[in-house]
A and B are shown apart, each in its own frame.
Chain A
Amino acid sequence: KAGVTQTPRYLIKTRGQQVTLSCSPISGHRSVSWYQQTPGQGLQFLFEYFSETQRNKGNFPGRFSGRQFSNSRSEMNVSTLELGDSALYLCASSWGLAADNEQFFGPGTRLTVL
């Protein structure tokens, strides 16, 4: 079956702009989690959505938000971009909650903020 897909794969934005990233999970998976990966901070948890509800949230400012649709597809939005938001954004889907199940990662969206 098809894996997790993320669009776009690459993005270049300038400070102050906003961006929306999209994630399509594996068919049948109800949980989608988002992570930020940077060389300095490693893999940082942003949030987890399960059946359209935000289940868990990481320690990121309110500029980072997300949502999940009834078909389990998820979007992540970052408003008022800062240079420090440059990172690889990964989404991962799992059949149930991430803590109990293996997560399947998408290829990521590489965001560069100039």
Chain B
Amino acid sequence: DSGVTQTPKHLITATGQRVTLRCSPRSGDLSVYWYQQSLDQGLQFLIQYYNGEERAKGNILERFSAQQFPDLHSELNLSSLELGDSALYFCASSKRTGAGELFFGEGSRLTVL
């Protein structure tokens, strides 16, 4: 158990819909990262927050947005969903802003039909 909690674990929805994925970091960790893993792809970095502020942005689509709240939990919002958005979405946390060892949640599997 990494201490990072992601909900929901599985989500099935239709094209055009909007979903929200939630992540609670490990106790004491200020940084939250979101990664996407599509079929046969590695972990693609989406976005990072540190203590409520956006710190780094990767290949995140404009239809996707995220935020980190004062209690440090984070939400990833995916809108106007397309079939290609079907993937595993991982949240990871760490104490610092610089990337080093990250602690990953179990992921949220999104299926868009």
A and B associate: no
> Contact residues of B with A, CB < 8 Å?
none
> Contact residues of A with B, CB < 8 Å?
none
